[in-house]
Amino acid sequence: MGTGPERIMYPELWQPESMEEARKIADNVSPHYQWAAGTTLLRTQWEMGTAPVPKHLISLANIRELNACTTEEEGLRIGALMRLNACAAFERIQTHFPLLSQAIDVISAPSIRNLATLGGNIVSGVGDSIPVLLVYEASLRWMTDTGLTEKKLTEWLEEWRRGQRSADHFLTEIWIPLPEPKPEEESHTVSFFKKIGRREAFTPALVTIAFHGTLNAQGEWSSLAMAAGGGSGTAMRLFQTEKWIRQFPVSRLPLSELMKQVQDEFVTISDVFATDTYRKQAAAGLFASELWKSMRFARYSV
Ligand SMILES: Cc1cc2nc3c(=O)[nH]c(=O)nc-3n(C[C@H](O)[C@H](O)[C@H](O)COP(=O)(O)OP(=O)(O)OC[C@H]3O[C@@H](n4cnc5c(N)ncnc54)[C@H](O)[C@@H]3O)c2cc1C
């Protein structure tokens, strides 16, 4: 009498071929519907009984324009329906946004990544791609009931945290601005992504962190962004810590104080797998150890 597959009531499936058609279907069946992409997460939630099966399921998978990735002079537009494996292998993503490929490569297993989409990973609110997209300053474009609208990922996550996000809107694309050209020949990029789980692979994250910054020839930060998330907690940019780090040339960054800053700012959750204290300590330790490596290997060594 559990909540296993035998109990699932299957929804009516809609497969629109354009964004306008998807919008019309949604208006007709509202509010008893849900958007679907690769359905890797949805199926699991239904099977576990952690989310109800909707009466209508509107799959966005057949909308061609949501599957494309286009490069513009100032950035990259990634269709929300792009499969994770396709994103990770996309040359422009590997070249300009390597942390995104790294983050995707440790999501679940190849069979899931062949079906799962980047949009689904973001809209889940807890996907491992989110910290990386935060440090790359990504924005999201949504189809609302009044047309297309764009908002920063940070802004959307804030709505998510407050329970204010609208499930009526669907995500159409992710915009990532290309990094500014290096200010000087001598400048140096410090960039890393780390995920800690309960085992090495095929496991949900306990903590996920991302960092992206540029050092000038004097070892001072010309730009810097850091983010942390993990578990069912919503990822966040660590703006205060970023500001604090900027005071120090990299060779004089006080790492134990850095750890304290991260723990003070990172808001996360406790669950059956780990306490919030553990997650904060783990995130702080990861930032400190990775930055320590940068201090050692950059040419600004003490
Ligand atoms: C075994 C297993 C392991 C997993 N491991 C990981 C992991 O390590 N890291 C990780 O981050 N995730 C993991 N996941 C979760 C999931 O597979 C990913 O988050 C995946 O990217 C979700 O994409 P999807 O296209 O399958 O989304 P779906 O399951 O189709 O949708 C997920 C949610 O997003 C909504 N949605 C999807 N696309 C849109 C859109 N374009 N607009 C509006 N709403 C939309 C759906 O309504 C639903 O609420 C795992 C899942 C499984 C089953």
Domain count, the chain: 3
**Ligand 1 centroid distance, CA of 172 (Å):** 15
Same domain assignment for residues 225 and 279: yes
Q: Pick from 59, 82, 98: which residue ends a domain?
A: 59
Average pLDDT over residues 152-169: 93
Does the pLDDT of residue 1 top 60, yes or no? no
| pLDDT(165) > 90 | no
Return the half-sphere exposure (C-beta side, CA atoms, 13 A cut-off) of residue 229: 26
275 part of a folded domain: yes
Residues 113 and 167 both lie in one domain: yes
Domain membership of residue 1 (yes or no) is: no
Q: Which of 45, 124, 174 to mutate to test the pocket of ligand 1 (most atoms within 8 A of CB)?
A: 124
Residue 276, pLDDT above cutoff 80: yes
Of 59, 80, 96, at which residue does a domain stop? 59
Q: What pLDDT is attached to residue 302?
A: 41
Task: Identify which of 282, 290, 267, 271 has the alpha carbon closest to the alpha carbon of residue 99.
Answer: 290
CA of 276 to the centre of ligand 1 (A): 24
Distance 284 CA to ligand 1 centre (A): 27
- Residue 199 has what pLDDT? 73
Shared domain check, 170 and 90: yes
Residues 136 and 73 in one domain: yes
What CATH number has the domain bearing residue 81? 3.30.465.10
Out of 29, 32, 108, mutate this one to test ligand 1's pocket (max ligand atoms within 8 Å of CB): namely: 108
- State the CATH number of the domain containing residue 198: 3.30.390.50
CA of 219 to the centre of ligand 1 (A): 40
The answer to whether residue 158 is domain-embedded is yes
Residue 3: inside a domain: no
pLDDT digit string, tens, across residues 86-117: 999 999 999 999 999 999 999 999 999 999 99
Q: Ligand 1: which atom is nearest the Cα of residue 83?
A: 25
> Which protein residues are within 6 Å of ligand 1, measured from CB?
34-42, 44, 60, 80, 84, 107-108, 112, 116-117, 119-121, 123-124, 127-128, 170-171, 204
Cβ pair 106, 201 in contact under 8 A: yes
Residues in the chain: 302
Same domain, 132 and 201: no
Q: Does residue 57 have a pLDDT over 90?
A: yes
Question: What is the pLDDT at residue 230?
Answer: 87
Distance separating alpha carbons of residues 136 and 153, to the nearest angstrom:
10
Whichever domain contains 21, its CATH number is 3.30.43
Q: What is the pLDDT of residue 237?
A: 98
Atom of ligand 1 nearest to the CA of 41: 29
Same domain? For 127 and 36 the reply is: no
Q: Is the pLDDT of residue 4 over 90?
A: no
Looking at the structure, tell me whether residues 52 and 26 fall in a common domain: yes
Ligand 1 atom with least separation from CA of 115: 26
Of 177, 200, 222, the domain-final residue: 177
Q: Is residue 32 a part of any domain in this protein? A: yes
Same domain, 54 and 74: no
Residue 175 has pLDDT above 70, yes or no: yes
The Cα–Cα gap between 145 and 212 comes to 35
Both 143 and 110 in one domain: the answer is yes
Residue 45: its pLDDT value, please?
94
Q: How far is the CA of 223 from the centre of ligand 1 (A)?
A: 31
Q: Give the Å distance between the CA of 291 and the centre of ligand 1.
A: 31
229-255 tens-digit pLDDT: 988 889 999 999 999 999 999 989 999
pLDDT of 200 over the 80 cut: no
pLDDT higher than 60, residue 207:
yes
Domain span at 245: 188-297
CA of 255 to the centre of ligand 1 (A): 35
Nearest to 286 by CA among 223, 179, 197: 197
Tell me: do 45 and 103 sit in the same domain: no
Q: What's the rounded mean pLDDT across residues 198-223?
A: 87
What per-residue confidence (pLDDT) applies to 301?
47
Is residue 276 domain-shared with residue 226, that is, in the same domain? yes
CB atoms inside a 10 Å sphere around CB 6: 7
Is there a domain that residue 137 lies in?
yes
Q: What integer pLDDT is reported at residue 205 of this predicted model? A: 83
If one compares 184 and 83, the residue with the highest pLDDT of the two is 83
How buried is 167 (Cβ within 10 angstroms: 0-12 exposed, 13-18 middle, 19+ buried)?
exposed
Quick check: 118 pLDDT over 60? yes
Asked if residue 265 and residue 219 are part of one domain, the reply reads yes
Contact status, residue 44 vs residue 53, Cβ threshold 8 Å: no
Domain annotation covers residue 92? yes
pLDDT of residue 6: 57
Q: Which atom of ligand 1 is nearest to the CA of 44?
A: 53
Domain-embedded: residue 167:
yes
Question: What is the rounded average pLDDT for all residues in the chain?
Answer: 92
- Residue 287 Cα, ligand 1 centroid: separation in angstroms? 27
Inter-axis angle of helices 276-297 and 255-265, to 10 degrees?
Answer: 140
